[in-house]
A and B are shown apart, each in its own frame.
Chain A
């Protein structure tokens, strides 16, 4: 079903499409053509696969998390995207789009970043491929993610602090789009998630779907069958669509997207776009979003900067509406408990984004019972989150 979507105009049912300035429509058409040509060219796909293998370290491991499983009460399998070069699934998309940029003959790349993971992945891909790289980052985020700013600069990227609007991820996207309108002749915009205007949701899906393709094969090898459920966190939705795509035709495999519940719905401080948002248009596509009665975007909240976005990719909206995937929230507190639990049972410190998926899997395990096997996308590692964790758990330096 959904793997044949979107249609030629980028629609997933009533979602997706192109709500963009006319100035960008012809460039988006050119990009769509370049991407389709590239995916049909064995030279391009061969180079992409070589880089995944030799540079990123794919396929990432599928890990049988036996000690976590004992606690969860069902068998938990972790797809170890945290072991990729640069520490998250994001590098797959960055490498894919950077290769496409080279193929289109464009010398310059721009990107947005929230926590800095996509910015670091893009800066890395640009360093490797010799592309000029400019990363837009909200001023609030440059302050709270200073280490990633330094990483990007070390890799040769220019980091521009965005001082307008809420000075966070959504404003970084706005500013990147403003740059792109003026620079599209020589510049490709490497959007960091499976959202935005066509062809981005489908193109990013192509570059990250290896997560699920690998995990499906690895599950068959390990279990002799498919898992009962696949679970991933959803901000914009790239790690989740990367995991889900291979399993969409396998209707016995339940798909769960875990949204950032922040402080909980009742507080209004969350980023659970599908669970609590309404249909609207943001950043070039129709999907669910957090908005007020006038259609103004509401600022989202999540302890996980990578999930802290008021929109979501249109294919997730479609999967939710058709019922193929289920979306549910996990609060900051539940995610942090899972963060600590995985660290202490398995010696794996996950990204807080991924900790949401682990927390979701603990609930799903109770629902599906002890015979169930549950595949979880461990989309990133938690080194970047240690300041947050130290504050949350009181892990400060002095003896107590």
Chain B
């Protein structure tokens, strides 16, 4: 397949940043937190603050990959009555606001329950760019892969420090958009120290694929974003932004996003090599 196809919508946005000599910034917020409208405003603030790609969380009752900050936020969203269709309408509202690619990060069961084909079609119609699927591995993902291909959606699977080289090759071959590298063995949440597992993992992924590599889990400030941007194509920030929204509302999100956006621009970096 050609590089352009595999780059997808998120990959093009990341490469555009890389070609300008900087790392890309990907920001996460769940839909429906602290309320439906508050969630939309928070995501708009991410865009105003300068993210290159938006990741919208689909709240789920059993989020095994998430630490307590995102767990609490998604509990609030669900307790507020958020439905899958509200996530789709959140996507639609944000897509009308900006051209920044919108990915939805979702555990698998809500998509399976909605109907994989039906979700892919409705999500594409709403203006979504693709899915990040933390508990769906390509081995089990045939239905989603087919639906994503049909609807030209990005399919972002995860790789981990524990992944074998064989699994990295197989997983990256199934990705479109970018490859999500989890920097630590653990769940989402801000961490004090950067992980020393991330850089070697990114190097292993890059030897398997020409796709951009985003690094997530644990990044919470501009310095950490700068550190990640030095070796990865994109820095992914989640829990810290959720906390910023909780404590400071959309203004708090915008402020932290600007600091993160400054971080990924700090170190001059070579343009992306393939």
Q: Taking beta carbons and an 8 Å cutoff, which residues of A are in contact with B? A: 9, 17-27, 164-165, 170-171, 174, 177-178, 181-185, 278, 280-284, 291, 293-297
The yes or no answer to B173 lying at the interface (CB within 8 A) is no
Q: Say how far B142's CB is from chain A's closest CB, in angstroms.
A: 11
Whether B62 pairs with A282 at a CB distance below 8 angstroms is: yes
The verdict on B21 contacting chain A, using a C-beta distance below 8 Å, is: no
Instruction: Give complex CA distance A181, B62 in Å.
Output: 15
- Indicate if the CB atoms of B187 and A182 lie closer than 8 Å: yes
In the complex, which residues of chain B have a beta carbon less than 8 angstroms from the beta carbon of A24? Answer: 162
From B97-105, B107-115, B206-214, give the one contacting chain A.
Answer: B107-115
- Taking a contact as CB atoms under 8 Å apart, the answer to whether A178 and B187 are in contact is yes
- Point out the residue from A27, A165, A174, A293 that lies within 8 Å of B162, measured CB to CB: A27
CB distance from A11 to the nearest CB of B (A): 9
Interface string of B106-138 (1 = CB under 8 A from A): 001111111000000000000000000011110
- A22 surroundings in chain B (CB, below 8 A): 137, 157-160, 162-163, 167, 171, 182
- B72 — which chain A residues lie within 8 A by C-beta? 164
Complex interface: chain B residues within 8 A of A20 (CB): 135, 137
Q: Quick one: given A18-B139, A19-B140, A282-B109, are A25 and B163 in contact (CB under 8 Å)?
A: yes
In the complex, A219→B112 CA distance in Å? 44
Q: Are A174 and B163 in contact (CB under 8 A)?
A: no
Q: Are B67 and A281 within 8 A (Cβ)?
A: no
Q: Tell me if B186 counts as interface (CB < 8 A to partner A).
A: yes
Residue of B84, B157, B162, B184 near A26 (CB, 8 A) is B162
7 A–B contact pairs at CB < 8 A? A18-B140, A22-B167, A26-B164, A164-B75, A184-B162, A280-B113, A295-B84
- Check B67–A178 contact: CB distance below 8 A: yes
Cβ < 8 Å to A, chain B residues 43-102: 60-65, 67-68, 71-72, 75, 78, 83-84
> B71, A296: Cβ atoms under 8 Å?
no
Going nearest first, the 5 A-B pairs with the smallest beta carbon separation are: A295-B113, A23-B160, A182-B186, A295-B110, A295-B109
CA distance A21 to B63 in the complex (A): 11
Contact of B185 among A182, A293, A296 (CB under 8 A): A182
A9: B residues at CB distance < 8 A? 139
Q: Which residues of chain A come closer than 8 Å to B71, judged between CB atoms?
A: 164-165
- List of A residues within 8 angstroms of B78 by Cβ: 296
Q: Which residue of B lies closest to A23 (CB)?
A: B160
Q: Which residues of the partner chain B approach A25 to less than 8 Å between Cβ atoms? A: 137, 160, 162-163, 167
Q: Given A18-B137, A22-B160, A282-B62, is A296 in contact with B167 using a C-beta cutoff of 8 Å? A: no
Give the distance in Å from the alpha carbon of A21 to the alpha carbon of B159 in the complex: 9
Is the C-beta of B249 less than 8 angstroms from some C-beta in chain A? no
Looking at B61, B109, B164, which has the most chain A CB atoms within 10 Å of its CB?
A: B61
Bound complex: CA A295 to CA B78 (Å): 12
CB distance from B130 to the nearest CB of A (A): 17
> By the criterion CB–CB under 8 Å, are A296 and B110 in contact?
yes
On whether A19 and B75 interact (CB within 8 A), knowing A25-B167, A26-B163, A182-B186, the answer reads: no
How far is B182's CA from A182's CA once the two chains are assembled, in angstroms? 12
| Interfacial chain B residues near A183, Cβ < 8 Å | 185
- Nearest B residue to A278 via CB reads B113
User: Which residues on the B side are within 8 Å of A174 (C-beta)?
Assistant: 62-64
Determine the residue in chain A with the shortest Cβ distance to B189.
A178
The CA-CA distance from A295 to B159 in the complex, in Å, is 25
| Nearest B-chain residue to A170, judged by Cβ | B62
B194 at interface by CB-CB < 8 Å? no
Residue pair B65, A21 in contact (C-beta under 8 Å): yes
A293 to B162, CA, bound (A): 35
Q: Residue B227 at the A interface, CB < 8 A?
A: no
Decide: B109 and A181 in contact? CB cutoff 8 A: no
Interface centre among B72, B135, B136, B137 (most CB of A within 10 A): B135
Contact B68 A164 (CB under 8 A): yes
Give the nearest-CB partner of B110 in chain A. Answer: A295
Say yes or no: is B38 at the interface (Cβ < 8 Å to chain A): no
> Across the two chains, which residue of chain B brings its CB closest to A17?
B140
Q: How far is the CB of B32 from chain A (nearest CB, A)?
A: 12
B62/A295 in contact, CB under 8 A: no
A1 to B53, CA, bound (A): 49
Q: Is the CB of B135 within 8 A of A19?
A: yes
**Cα–Cα distance between A19 and B136 once the two chains are bound (Å):** 5
| A19 vs B157: C-alpha distance when bound (angstroms) | 12
Docked Cα-Cα span, A175 to B113, in Å, equals 24
Tell me, in angstroms, the Cα distance from A181 to B162 when the chains sit together.
Answer: 10
Kindly state the separation between the CA atoms of A356 and B242 in the bound complex, as whole angstroms.
Answer: 45
In the complex, what distance in Å separates the CA atom of A379 from the CA atom of B107? 34
Instruction: Determine if B163 and A21 form an interchain contact, defined as CB atoms under 8 angstroms apart.
Output: no
With CB as the reference atom, state the residue of chain A lying closest to B184.
A182
For window 182-235 of B, CB contacts with A under 8 Å fall at 182, 184-187
Chain B proximity of A79: nearest CB distance (Å): 33
> A330 vs B274: C-alpha distance in the bound complex, in angstroms?
62
**In the docked arrangement, what's the CA distance between A171 and B184, Å?**
22
From residue B177, how far is it (CB to closest CB) to chain A in Å? 16
Within 8 A of A (CB), among B228-248: none
